[in-house]
Amino acid sequence: MQLIDTHTHLFLPEFDSDRDEMVGRAVSSGVVKLLMPNIDINTVEPMLSAVERYKDTCLPMIGLHPTSVYADYNSQLDRLEEIASSNKFIAVGETGIDLYWDKTHLSEQLEAFRRQVAFAIRSGLPVVIHSRNSIREVFSVLDEFKGKKLSGVFHAFSGDAHDADKAAGMGFKLGIGGPLTFKNSLLGEIVKSAGIEHVILETDSPYLAPVPFRGKRNESSYICIINRKLAEVIGVSEEESAAITYENSCRLFNI
């Protein structure tokens, strides 16, 4: 059984004390690839260091997280695009819109998101979208690029069944992680309705740990717990859900 964690921030300080052990636990659990979305210009170096240290396991993305979008976003994106020209990345992300913490920079977030979607299209890369409390705004931007060759994933998908159908219809996957295991979560029914062919698995570690680790530091080996819950929800074996989401991830990220 092979699994891919399509969204882990394993380069963050939360793993400084035991990063080798954490990656080892993931690999021992059958997690063969760890895909890392970037956050901002300051995280590029530690992310690429992780790629160098864990060759053939860690794969990087390039992007500017919406909560890191401020007045200087264009200069940051200039630098990130320059870095992208001399390094191999598997996706543009993590990008998108976040209206949970602060709405002050919404106009800047919209422009930064548009610019990164356009860059993804030019580069032939999928886009990894953060849409916390902002799925309507995200869809409105994506609609501007209708007809363009664009694919990607709604990371930590939190929309409703209609949103899931719209995302799938646009060629996007649903990134499903720890919240699938939470009590009273509606994600199970949404995923069952959408179909496993539209799902990829992620941890978002060190955040959003699944039950029974909810509230603690998340890590990539816990993708097995998420896969187990997904199999239960869909009504297939763990091996089958792992195989389907593995293939979905490989196709999306061209790995």
The pLDDT tens digits for 187-246 are 999 999 999 999 999 999 999 999 999 999 999 999 999 999 999 999 999 999 999 999
| DSSP code for 101 | S
Domains and their CATH numbers in the chain: 3-253 (3.20.20.140)
Q: Is the pTM of this model over 0.85?
A: yes
**What's the pLDDT tens digit per position in 79-121?**
999 999 999 999 999 999 999 988 999 999 999 999 999 999 9
Whole-angstrom Cα distance, residue 248 to residue 234? 16
Amino acid sitting at position 163? D
How high is the mean pLDDT of the chain? Answer: 97
